[in-house]
Chain A
Amino acid sequence: MSHLPILPVVIPLGAAALLLVLHGIGSAGKRIVSLVSVLALAAVAVALLWSASEGPIQVYRLGDWPAPYGIVIVLDRLAALMVALTAALALPVVLAATSGADTRGRHFHALLQLQIAGLSGAFLTGDLFNLFVFFEILLLASYGLLLHGGGLARARAGLAYVILNLVGSALFLIALGLLYGTLGTLNMADVATVLPLVAAQDQALVKTAAALLVAVFLLKAALLPLGFWLPHVYTAACLPVAVLFVIMTKVGVYALLRVSLTGFAAAPFTADLLQPWLPWLAIGTIAVGAVGALAADRLAMVVANVVLMSSGTLLLGVATSSIEATTAALYYLVHTTIVTAALFLLVDALARQRGALADSLGKGPRLASLMALGTAYLLLAVAASGAPPLSGLIGKLMVMQSLAGTGTGPAAWGALLVSGLVVALVLARAASAFFWEPGTADNAAPPASRASTGTRGLWLALILMLAVTPVLTLAAGPIAGYARATARELAAREAYVTAVLGMRATIERERRP
Chain B
Amino acid sequence: MEALVSLGIGLLTACGLYLVLRPSTFSVVLGLTLLSYAVNTLIFFGGRLNATAPPLMLPGSSGHADPLPQALVLTAIVIGFGMTAYLVALALRAKGESGTDHVDAAEDR
Question: Do A and B come from the same complex?
Answer: yes
Minimum CB–CB distance for A8 against chain B, Å: 22
Interface size on B, residues (CB 8 A): 38
Interface size on A, residues (CB 8 A): 30
Minimum CB–CB distance for A264 against chain B, Å: 19
CB pair B48–A160 under 8 Å, yes or no, is no
Minimum CB–CB distance for B90 against chain A, Å: 6
CB pair A166–B75 under 8 Å, yes or no, is no
- Residues from chain A with a CB closer than 8 A to the CB of B35 are 167, 170
CB pair B48–A513 under 8 Å, yes or no, is yes
Does A147 have its Cβ within 8 Å of any Cβ on chain B? yes
Does A174 have its Cβ within 8 Å of any Cβ on chain B? yes
- Residues from chain B with a CB closer than 8 A to the CB of A510 are 66
Q: In chain A, what residue has the closest Cβ to B76?
A: A173
Does A496 have its Cβ within 8 Å of any Cβ on chain B? no
- Residues from chain A with a CB closer than 8 A to the CB of B25 are 159
Q: Mark B15-32, 1 if CB is under 8 A from A, else 0.
A: 000001000010010001
Give which listed residue, B39, B83, B105, contacts A177 with CB less than 8 A.
B39
CB pair A160–B39 under 8 Å, yes or no, is no
Q: In chain B, what residue has the closest Cβ to A512?
A: B48
CB pair B79–A159 under 8 Å, yes or no, is no
CB pair B90–A159 under 8 Å, yes or no, is yes
Number of A-B contacts (CB under 8 A): 94
- Residues from chain B with a CB closer than 8 A to the CB of A129 are 72, 75
Minimum CB–CB distance for B71 against chain A, Å: 9
- Residues from chain B with a CB closer than 8 A to the CB of A174 are 39, 42
CB pair B94–A155 under 8 Å, yes or no, is yes
Does B14 have its Cβ within 8 Å of any Cβ on chain A? no
Minimum CB–CB distance for B24 against chain A, Å: 11
- Residues from chain B with a CB closer than 8 A to the CB of A147 are 90, 93
Q: List 21 A-B contacts (CB under 8 A).
A: A140-B83, A147-B93, A152-B98, A155-B90, A158-B94, A159-B90, A159-B94, A159-B103, A160-B103, A166-B83, A166-B87, A170-B32, A170-B38, A173-B40, A173-B43, A176-B72, A177-B45, A177-B69, A180-B46, A180-B68, A180-B69
CB-based closest 6 A-B pairs: A181-B46, A177-B43, A155-B94, A177-B42, A173-B39, A177-B46
Inter-chain pairs besides A129-B75, A152-B106, A153-B106, 15 sampled, C-beta below 8 Å? A136-B79, A136-B83, A147-B90, A147-B93, A152-B97, A152-B98, A155-B98, A158-B94, A159-B25, A163-B20, A163-B32, A170-B36, A173-B43, A180-B69, A512-B48
